[in-house]
Amino acid sequence: MLERTRSKKQTEITFVLPSGHPAGEVSVVGDFNDWRPGAHPLAERPDGSRAVTVAFPVNQHYGFRYLADGGHWLDEEGADGHDGCNSLLHT
C-alpha cells in the first residue's frame, strides 16, 4: 500500500507492507536510490505493518519494487502502474 502526503515542492510516499508478509527484512528499491538494497528498509509500526517514508520531487516518475530476505522481489499492487517488470510511481 502507498500512503501519500503532497505539498507544492514534494510528495512524501510511505511504502507499507502488511504484518508478517513477507517474513524477514524488506527494503524498497528503485530508480530513486539506484536500486541499492537496504537503502530504504521498512520498519515495523505499532500495528505490526512495516513502512518507510521517502520524499520525492513533484511530477516525477519512478520504477520500484520491494526486496525481501533471500532475494525475493515483490510488486506493489497499489502502484500507479506496472511496466511488466517494476511497479511504477508518479509523484
Q: Is 31 helix (H, G, I), strand (E, B) or coil?
A: helix
Whole-prediction pTM? 0.93
Q: Can you give the residue range of the structural domain that contains 20?
A: 2-90
Separation of alpha carbons 10 and 24, rounded Å: 31
**pLDDT tens for each residue of 4-49:** 999 989 999 999 999 988 888 999 999 999 999 999 999 999 999 9
What long-range pairs does 69-77 form, CB within 8 A, spacing at least 24? 69/22, 69/23, 69/24, 69/25, 69/26, 70/24, 72/22, 74/17, 74/22, 74/26, 76/1, 76/2, 76/15
Number of folded domains in the chain? 1
Separation of alpha carbons 15 and 75, rounded Å: 11
Give me the CATH number covering residue 6.
2.60.40.10
Which pLDDT score, from 0 to 100, does residue 21 have?
Answer: 84
- Whether residue 74 has pLDDT greater than 90: yes
Which pLDDT score, from 0 to 100, does residue 86 have?
Answer: 96
